[in-house]
Chains A and B, each alone.
Chain A
Amino acid sequence: MADKKFDDIAEELGSQMKAVSVAEFFKKNKHLLGFDSPIKAMLMVVKEAVDNSLDATEEYGHNYYKKNKKWYFPEIYVDIKKEEYGLVIIPKGDDRPLADIIKTGKKWELMHFGKKLRASKVDGNRKTYNVDGTKVEVIEEGLKKPKVYVENERADIKERTLKYRVTIRDNGPGIIEKNIPNVFGKLLYGSKFHRLRQSRGQQGIGISSVVLYAQQTTGIPAKIISKTEKGKAVQMEITIADNNEPIVQNKEYVNFSLEHGTEISVVIEADYISSGEKSVYEFLRRTSIVNPHATIIFSDPNKKKYVFKRTATFLPPEPKEIKPHPYGLEFGKLKDMLLVTSSRNIRSFLMNDLSRVSGAIADSILSKLDIDPSTKPKELTRREIEKLLRALQKAPLKRPPTDCLSPIGKDALKKSITEDTKAEFVAVVSRKPAVYKGIPFLVEAAIAYGGEIKNTGTAQRLRYANKIPLVYDAAGCAITKAIQETSWKQYKVENVASNGLPSGPYIIIVHIASVWVPYTSEGKSAIAGYPAIIKEMKLALQECGRKLKGYLSAKYREKRSAQRRSLFEIYVPELAYSLSKITDVKEKEIIDGLKKVLNKGKADSEVDKDAKE
Chain B
Amino acid sequence: MPKNNKEIIKKIELLGKQILKEIKSGENPFLDIPIRSLSNVYYNPKTKMIELGLSKSKRYFFNVAHIRKFVQTIEAAATVTELLKVDKHLSLRQVFYAMRRTIKGTNIDVVDEQTESNQAIEDLELLTGFAREELHINAKKSGAAAGKIVIKDRGDIIDLSKMGSGGWAIPSNTEDVEFKKVDAKFVLYMEKDAMWERLNEDKFWEKNNCVIIASQGQATRGIRRLLRRLSDEYKLPILVLTDFDPWGFYIFSVLKYGSIALANFSNKLAITNAKFLGMRAEDIKKYGLERQIIKFKDVDKKRLEQIKNYEWFKENKEWQKQFKRMKDMKGKVELDALVTRGISFVSEKYLPEKIKNKDWIE
Contact with A along B1-45 (1 / 0, CB 8 A): 000000000001101110110011011110000000000000000
Contact A607-B60, Cβ < 8 Å, known A578-B77, A596-B26:
yes
List chain A residues, Cβ under 8 A from B57.
610, 612-613
Are B29 and A597 within 8 A (Cβ)?
Answer: yes
Contact A575-B65, Cβ < 8 Å, known A570-B106, A610-B57, A612-B57:
no
In this assembly, does B108 line the interface, its C-beta being within 8 Å of a C-beta of chain A?
yes
Which residue of B has the minimal Cβ distance to A560? B64
Are B20 and A602 within 8 A (Cβ)?
Answer: no
Q: How far is the CA of A574 from the CA of B103 in the complex (A)?
A: 7
In this assembly, does A598 line the interface, its C-beta being within 8 Å of a C-beta of chain B?
yes
Are A606 and B65 within 8 A (Cβ)?
Answer: no
Chain A binding surface SS class:
helix
Are B65 and A613 within 8 A (Cβ)?
Answer: yes
In this assembly, does A307 line the interface, its C-beta being within 8 Å of a C-beta of chain B?
no
Q: How far is the CA of A582 from the CA of B71 in the complex (A)?
A: 13
In this assembly, does A178 line the interface, its C-beta being within 8 Å of a C-beta of chain B?
no
Question: Which chain A residues in 555-577 approach chain B with CB under 8 Å?
Answer: 564, 567-568, 570-571, 573-575, 577
List chain A residues, Cβ under 8 A from B27.
597, 602
Are B67 and A571 within 8 A (Cβ)?
Answer: yes
Chain B residues within 8 Å of chain A by Cβ, number: 40
List chain B residues, Cβ under 8 A from A317.
none
List chain A residues, Cβ under 8 A from B16.
579, 582-583, 585
A571 touches which of B17, B68, B78, B82 (Cβ 8 Å): B68
List chain B residues, Cβ under 8 A from A476.
none
Are B23 and A590 within 8 A (Cβ)?
Answer: yes
B61 touches which of A570, A577, A594, A613 (Cβ 8 Å): A594
In this assembly, does B58 line the interface, its C-beta being within 8 Å of a C-beta of chain A?
yes
Q: How far is the CA of A611 from the CA of B64 in the complex (A)?
A: 9
Are B64 and A593 within 8 A (Cβ)?
Answer: no
- Residue from the set A585, A600, A607 with the largest chain B CB neighbour count within 10 Å: A607
Q: How far is the CA of A593 from the CA of B22 in the complex (A)?
A: 10
Which residue of A has the minimal Cβ distance to B99? A578
Q: Nearest Cβ distance between residue A594 and chain B, in whole angstroms? A: 6
Q: How far is the CA of A604 from the CA of B61 in the complex (A)?
A: 11
Contact A583-B67, Cβ < 8 Å, known A568-B62, A575-B61, A600-B26:
no
List chain B residues, Cβ under 8 A from A596.
26
Question: Which chain B residues in 73-112 approach chain A with CB under 8 Å?
Answer: 74-75, 77-78, 81-82, 103-106, 108, 110
Contact A579-B62, Cβ < 8 Å, known A570-B103, A597-B27:
no
Which residue of B has the minimal Cβ distance to A566? B106
Which residue of B has the minimal Cβ distance to A574? B71
Contact with B along A271-315 (1 / 0, CB 8 A): 000000000000000000000000000000000000000000000
Are B64 and A607 within 8 A (Cβ)?
Answer: yes
Are B70 and A581 within 8 A (Cβ)?
Answer: no
In this assembly, does B216 line the interface, its C-beta being within 8 Å of a C-beta of chain A?
no
Q: How far is the CA of A609 from the CA of B67 in the complex (A)?
A: 14
In this assembly, does B340 line the interface, its C-beta being within 8 Å of a C-beta of chain A?
no
Q: How far is the CA of A593 from the CA of B23 in the complex (A)?
A: 6
Q: Nearest Cβ distance between residue B171 and chain A, in whole angstroms? A: 27
Q: How far is the CA of A575 from the CA of B59 in the complex (A)?
A: 14
A-B contact pairs, 5 of them (CB 8 A): A571-B68, A571-B71, A593-B20, A593-B23, A602-B27
Chain A residues engaging chain B, CB cutoff 8 angstroms: 564, 567-568, 570-571, 573-575, 577-579, 581-583, 585, 590, 593-594, 596-598, 600, 602-607, 609-613
Which residue of A has the minimal Cβ distance to B76? A578
List chain B residues, Cβ under 8 A from A581.
78, 81-82
Q: Nearest Cβ distance between residue B312 and chain A, in whole angstroms? A: 27
In this assembly, does B63 line the interface, its C-beta being within 8 Å of a C-beta of chain A?
yes
Q: Nearest Cβ distance between residue A573 and chain B, in whole angstroms? A: 7
List chain B residues, Cβ under 8 A from A568.
62, 67
Are B60 and A606 within 8 A (Cβ)?
Answer: yes
Are B62 and A582 within 8 A (Cβ)?
Answer: no
Q: Nearest Cβ distance between residue B28 and chain A, in whole angstroms? A: 5
Q: How far is the CA of A573 from the CA of B101 in the complex (A)?
A: 13
- 20 new A-B contacts at CB < 8 Å, known A570-B105, A571-B103: A564-B64, A570-B103, A574-B71, A574-B110, A579-B16, A581-B81, A582-B15, A582-B74, A582-B81, A585-B20, A590-B20, A593-B20, A597-B62, A598-B62, A607-B62, A607-B64, A610-B59, A611-B66, A612-B57, A613-B65
Q: How far is the CA of A185 from the CA of B62 in the complex (A)?
A: 79
Contact with A along B212-223 (1 / 0, CB 8 A): 000000000000
B67 touches which of A567, A606, A613 (Cβ 8 Å): A567
Are A606 and B71 within 8 A (Cβ)?
Answer: no
Q: How far is the CA of A468 from the CA of B34 in the complex (A)?
A: 69
List chain A residues, Cβ under 8 A from B75.
574, 578
Q: Nearest Cβ distance between residue B219 and chain A, in whole angstroms? A: 29
List chain B residues, Cβ under 8 A from A611.
63, 65-66
Contact A602-B26, Cβ < 8 Å, known A579-B16, A607-B60, A610-B57:
yes
Are B62 and A603 within 8 A (Cβ)?
Answer: yes
Which residue of A has the minimal Cβ distance to B19? A579
Are B74 and A579 within 8 A (Cβ)?
Answer: yes
List chain A residues, Cβ under 8 A from B68.
571
Are A583 and B62 within 8 A (Cβ)?
Answer: no
- Residue from the set B15, B60, B63, B81 with the largest chain A CB neighbour count within 10 Å: B63
Q: How far is the CA of A558 from the CA of B200 in the complex (A)?
A: 70
Q: Nearest Cβ distance between residue A185 and chain B, in whole angstroms? A: 74
Are B13 and A583 within 8 A (Cβ)?
Answer: yes
List chain B residues, Cβ under 8 A from A578.
71, 74-75, 77-78
List chain A residues, Cβ under 8 A from B104.
573
Q: Nearest Cβ distance between residue B214 and chain A, in whole angstroms? A: 37
Q: How far is the CA of A581 from the CA of B15 in the complex (A)?
A: 12
List chain A residues, Cβ under 8 A from B59.
610, 613
Q: How far is the CA of A140 from the CA of B235 in the complex (A)?
A: 119
List chain A residues, Cβ under 8 A from B29.
594, 597
B20 touches which of A579, A604, A605, A613 (Cβ 8 Å): A579
Q: Nearest Cβ distance between residue B16 and chain A, in whole angstroms? A: 4
List chain A residues, Cβ under 8 A from B62.
568, 597-598, 602-604, 606-607
List chain A residues, Cβ under 8 A from B81.
581-582
Q: Nearest Cβ distance between residue A592 and chain B, in whole angstroms? A: 9
Q: How far is the CA of A597 from the CA of B63 in the complex (A)?
A: 12
Q: How far is the CA of A607 from the CA of B61 in the complex (A)?
A: 9
Q: Nearest Cβ distance between residue B351 and chain A, in whole angstroms? A: 47
